Amino acid sequence: MTAAPRRWAADLLHFWFHELGAEDWFGGSAEVDAASQRFARDLDMLGRRPAHEFLGDPLTARAAILLFDQIPRNVFRKDARAFAHDALARRIAKGVIACGWLDGLSRDERAFVGMPLMHSEAIADQRASLAFFRGSPTNFAFARAHWRMIARFGRFPHRNAVLGRRSSPAERAAIAAGNAW
């Protein structure tokens, strides 16, 4: 595999796919959060750039999706800033899909391209997420669960506290039932 042309992108792709694994990605550990801090400066410096600046090559684009979708969730866990770059990550993900840059990706690499769609609170993005993950049984189950929350509530109830939103009794019940990814 060739390296991404931008150093931060090459470092992030190596960190995410070679230093970390599934238990790290979805485990929410303090260790992974601390290790992710090394990309906080890149997030801050690049987070206000337009999506098209990250769509010059497939590796930079994929790293940018991680930078704006995954890194904030680790660096700013339990903080509204965890979701501040979601729209940018989503625009880049849609650009990667539109460019057809999915060929040759591993299952995990492909999954992280589609993750910003799954993280969106817009029903249209949730429908796109279902279509994107349809061929992957495990990821499709998660995509369907996310879609159900948006279809039912129009938002992810588990984000309400950090975003300063009030939860309805039905939303609290949904969280208690395990819908808090």
Q: What does the domain layout of the chain look like in residue ranges?
A: 1-119, 121-181
Residue whose tokens read 């299952």: 107
pLDDT digits over 132-160, tens only? 999 999 899 999 999 999 999 999 999 99
* Helix spans in 37-176 (H): 40-46, 58-65, 71-75, 86-99, 107-119, 123-133, 137-153, 160-163, 169-176
Query: What distance in Å separates the CA atoms of residue 51 and residue 94, rounded to the nearest whole number?
Result: 10
For residue range 35-53, what is the model confidence (pLDDT) as tens digits?
A: 999 999 999 999 999 999 9
CB of 92 closer than 8 Å to CB of 64: yes
pTM across the whole model: 0.95
What is the per-residue pLDDT across 92-115, written as a single tens digit (0 to 9) for each? 999 999 999 999 999 999 999 999
Architecture of domain 121-181: Alpha Horseshoe (1.25)
| pLDDT for 3 beyond 80 | no
Confidence of residue 181 (pLDDT cuts 50, 70, 90): confident
